[in-house]
Structure 1
Amino acid sequence: MTEAAGRPPALSVADLIVAEGPEGAERILIAGLTVSVAAGEIVAVRADDAASAQALVQVLDGRRRAQYGALAAGTGGRPRRVAPVRPASVTVVRAGQAPPTGAGPRPVVVVDATASDTGAVATDVARTAAREGSGVLLVTTDADTAAEADRVVHLNRPPAAPARAPEQALFSTAALTAAAIGSLTSAGVGEERAALVAGVLVDADVRGHFSHGVGLLPMYLDRVERGGIDPAAEPEWICEDAPVAVLDARGGFGQVAAGRAAEHCARRAAATGLAAVAVRGNNHVGMLAAYREHFVRHGVVGLILNISGPSVAAPGAGRPTLGNDAVCMVVPRGEGRPLVVDFATGSVASGKIRHAAHRGEPVPATWLVDRRGRPTTDPGELDRGGAVPVFGGHKGLGVAVITEVLAGILAGGTVSPLVHKQRAEPERSMDCSQLFLALSPAAFGDPPVDELLDVLSGAVTAGYPQGAPRVHLPEQQEELAEAAALDSGIPVPLTVVERLGWTADRTPAASGGTR
């Protein structure tokens, strides 16, 4: 049978979202289901897991509240927000049961086929109800059961994966750095400044954070051409010798002012015990961890906070009204790698979503909401008014507010809602701000930093009775990424390579070589 064309729907479900778990750490069970069924029609909703299927049945049975969505039951029914009340016209039947008799056909029958080994029974129940004129929604996890319906709607099915791996070129670190410098100098950026900007971008790629790597170069160059970045701007110290120094970036490349601020802050803290540098009037600075070597070289603990333009939604909100701000801590060790903790206040850095768009890949539904506040896997929604949810619910919002006060209000006399978005306004400086803080362990009596960090990491590891996963502490993921970059090269999507006019063979990363 085909879809019941021309008949009004007996049941319509629109944009249904169901989640479970604590606020800020929810698990999405149903991510935006829209389905309708007409009288005499069987529509199967096929889920990939029993929990999602059961959540749908519970909502339609009035036993569970949905976070978002509307439902209209019965011909002419008015859509209403889904609440834990089952419409009188909806009858939920478990496989093995029969619909109630004696009152004529029910307008809508929901057949619960989520239990194992109920497919044949559920199909018989569904067919009987449809013959009697009911619209039937068959909820199942079984492909064969679903295939017996007139139509199948897949629950939470992400967009189809590309037929083959996204095409990429592989570069060695030196080759990628040289290519980035070449693009910048061709746009009129001085050699030394180009090397600084390229170094920060390539460092992010080497560490596996492609969202902050050379994929940003096309946007940077567009902003140079249109006036949002002044490539020749020279940062100016408003106050340099006080305990709190203030640096005006004057709308230049963000990396230039950030590098000077980090070096000044670390050097002064090594001499005086404590230092702070505020940077205002700046542009995008890249990955905050890129400035770690200044603190490591001077042996001081560093803390960097950054605010950016609005792209993050508050808990439960849909509109992007806050910046995807960033926090980074650097702790030098006597031996080995420093401890680096670098994260955004959104559930994910916005650039990671755009990197997925470059590769033609969907994103997890927990990364992004669309303009109506619904979880989405389409990375393009970010630039169509979507938003990144703040991490950790209201606690994450608290971290964001702390960052706004320190790096925004104090350091820059601004807050993220006033920062210009670099993609939406390429002709204007972002006018964002950063705060660099540094503390010398010597000023605190030289505590045994390395020994206590070992105790801390040991405590984390001990929390896994079956053994800790390969990545369970900060810097471990980056260490693996650096090893992979050294061994196999750094992948750059060909969409980026082509936009920059670089020469590269059209080979998937899996079979390409370093350049």
Structure 2
Amino acid sequence: MTEISTRHLLLDEVRTFAKSYLVKAGMNAAGSDVLANLVMMSERDGPRSHGLRMLPVYAQSFASGYANPDAMPKIERTAPGVLRADADNGYFQIAAEMARDDLIAMARENGIAALTCANSHHLGAMRFDTEPLAEAGLVALGVVNSLSMVVPHGGVRPVFGTNPMSFACPRDGASPVVWDQASSVVALMDVKMAAAEGHDLPRAGGLDTSGQPSTDPNAILETRSLLPFGEHKGAAIAFMVEILGAALAGGTLSVNNEDREAHGALNVKGGATLIAIDPSRFGNASFNDYVTRVCAEIEGNGAARVPGDGRLGKRAEATSTGIAVSTALLAELGFEG
């Protein structure tokens, strides 16, 4: 593996730099605050592929006219438990933050509520969409479809996006349980990062030009054909996300790439759905005890850990001491701090 030169940055420095980069790219104050915080959290918790490395992607989306840097999302209530958002061709996280208080209130009122969002872009880890809901005492599920690059099991061409999903739930006396994952073996940005850092993937994550599974990130980037995790099981989950994301929200299907390709963009304007559930309205007064028991059965069980808890150690260390960032990346981004 190629040795990488790094520079140490505090999280506030990461956020401040990301904010200035996005403002220079044309973003308004409110939107740049949301995305700068997302970049910082990605560097803090992981995946790093969704942090500072994503800034040029955001900038390109604005410069090409594909995304709206001055987006003003509109939120409407279409049913007692349903919010529908039009992100004004901006990033989903901006609309989700605008809708969050209403979504929480509706879940508490009805027991369950959902937010769908179309005319939007999503390039960050989904855990940051669901974690605030769990911090409010709710169970949350989030999905979003993305550009087609995942080959269905047994297929020869991509149909689905990496189609990530996230789950979060409250946990007594500790941070919420939060996990997110792609429907593919590996996310595209992790393939790009492996190529940039000069190392193979730990396991076959896509197809090479001969149609064979490969660990070579450059070969996978050439075909842009990723494998679903768990073979047919991952492909089935990718299908579910396509329906809950694109179809339910009215977003762009993963296979509809014409607009994206015309702008040289990394994402389709897919659909996103967040579902929030108030466990106190479902009749089991011992819900929190159940969560605690399941987590206890996992912890101390060999090398097992509660899903998503790996981020907590990274978060504590990064919050205390900052993070190491590739000097080559900082130079590419024009960091002068």
TM-score for the superposition, normalised by structure 1: 0.61
What is the CA distance between 1:421 and its match in structure 2? 8.3
The alignment status of 1:321 with 2:154, answered yes or no, reads no
Distance 1:482 1:435 in 2: 26
The superposition leaves residues 311-340 of structure 1 with CA deviations (integer Å, 9 ceiling, x where unpaired) of: 211224443321000111110123210011
Distance 2:181 2:236 in 1: 14
For 1:279-294, list aligned pairs within 5 A.
279-294=117-132
The alignment status of 1:203 with 2:41, answered yes or no, reads yes
For 1:474-493, list aligned pairs within 5 A.
474-493=307-326
Contact 2:131 2:178 in 1 (8 A): no
Residue in 1 aligned with 2:113? 275
The alignment status of 1:334 with 2:167, answered yes or no, reads no
Q: Which has the higher Rg, Structure 1 or Structure 2?
A: 1
The superposition leaves residues 410-465 of structure 1 with CA deviations (integer Å, 9 ceiling, x where unpaired) of: 22254321256868833698321101111111211243233111221233357x5x
Contact 2:88 2:119 in 1 (8 A): yes
Residue in 1 aligned with 2:65? 227
CA 1:240 to 1:358, structure 2 compared with 1: closer, same or farther past 3 Å? farther
CA 1:406 to 1:253, structure 2 compared with 1: closer, same or farther past 3 Å? closer
CA 1:426 to 1:406, structure 2 compared with 1: closer, same or farther past 3 Å? same
CA 1:409 to 1:292, structure 2 compared with 1: closer, same or farther past 3 Å? closer
The residue type equivalent to 1:167 in the other structure is: S
The alignment status of 1:309 with 2:147, answered yes or no, reads yes
The residue type equivalent to 1:497 in the other structure is: L
Q: Secondary structure of 1:432's partner?
A: coil
Residue in 2 aligned with 1:352? 190
The residue type equivalent to 2:27 in the other structure is: V
The residue type equivalent to 2:181 in the other structure is: F
CA 1:486 to 1:331, structure 2 compared with 1: closer, same or farther past 3 Å? same
The superposition leaves residues 387-416 of structure 1 with CA deviations (integer Å, 9 ceiling, x where unpaired) of: 221011111111111111111212225432
User: Is there any run of 5+ residues in structure 1 with no aligned partner, and where?
Assistant: 1-160, 505-515
Q: Secondary structure of 2:294's partner?
A: helix
Residue in 2 aligned with 1:75? none
Distance 2:321 2:266 in 1: 39
CA 1:175 to 1:335, structure 2 compared with 1: closer, same or farther past 3 Å? same
Q: Secondary structure of 2:41's partner?
A: helix
What is the CA distance between 1:285 and its match in structure 2? 4.3
The superposition leaves residues 322-377 of structure 1 with CA deviations (integer Å, 9 ceiling, x where unpaired) of: 10001111101232100112111001222111122232222134222223322223
CA 1:233 to 1:392, structure 2 compared with 1: closer, same or farther past 3 Å? same
What is the CA distance between 1:486 and its match in structure 2? 3.3
Residue in 2 aligned with 1:39? none
What is the CA distance between 1:170 and its match in structure 2? 2.2
1:390 corresponds, among 222, 228, 239, to 228
Q: Alpha carbon RMSD of aligned pairs, Å?
A: 2.4
The alignment status of 1:217 with 2:55, answered yes or no, reads yes
The alignment status of 1:182 with 2:20, answered yes or no, reads yes
The structure whose residues are more often helix, as a share, is 2
Q: Secondary structure of 2:150's partner?
A: strand
Q: Secondary structure of 1:435's partner?
A: strand
Distance 1:428 1:394 in 2: 25
Distance 1:428 1:480 in 2: 31
Distance 2:329 2:77 in 1: 40
The structure whose residues are more often strand, as a share, is 1
Structure with higher RCO (Cα < 8 A, 6+ apart):
2
The superposition leaves residues 160-197 of structure 1 with CA deviations (integer Å, 9 ceiling, x where unpaired) of: x32xx112222111110001001011222122321110
Q: Secondary structure of 1:418's partner?
A: coil
CA 1:302 to 1:393, structure 2 compared with 1: closer, same or farther past 3 Å? same
Is the deviation greater in 232-241 or in 383-392?
A: 232-241
For 1:463-478, list aligned pairs within 5 A.
464=301, 468-469=302-303, 472-478=305-311
Contact 1:308 1:421 in 2 (8 A): no
CA 1:461 to 1:500, structure 2 compared with 1: closer, same or farther past 3 Å? closer
2:239 corresponds, among 401, 408, 414, to 401
Distance 2:104 2:257 in 1: 27
Residue in 2 aligned with 1:498? 331
CA 1:339 to 1:242, structure 2 compared with 1: closer, same or farther past 3 Å? same
The residue type equivalent to 1:168 in the other structure is: T
The superposition leaves residues 81-118 of structure 1 with CA deviations (integer Å, 9 ceiling, x where unpaired) of: xxxxxxxxxxxxxxxxxxxxxxxxxxxxxxxxxxxxxx
Contact 2:117 2:251 in 1 (8 A): no
The alignment status of 1:374 with 2:212, answered yes or no, reads yes
Q: Secondary structure of 1:302's partner?
A: strand
Distance 1:176 1:422 in 2: 29
What is the CA distance between 1:293 and its match in structure 2? 4.4
Q: Percent identity?
A: 25
Distance 2:242 2:132 in 1: 24
Q: Secondary structure of 1:436's partner?
A: strand
TM-score for the superposition, normalised by structure 2: 0.91
Q: Secondary structure of 1:311's partner?
A: coil
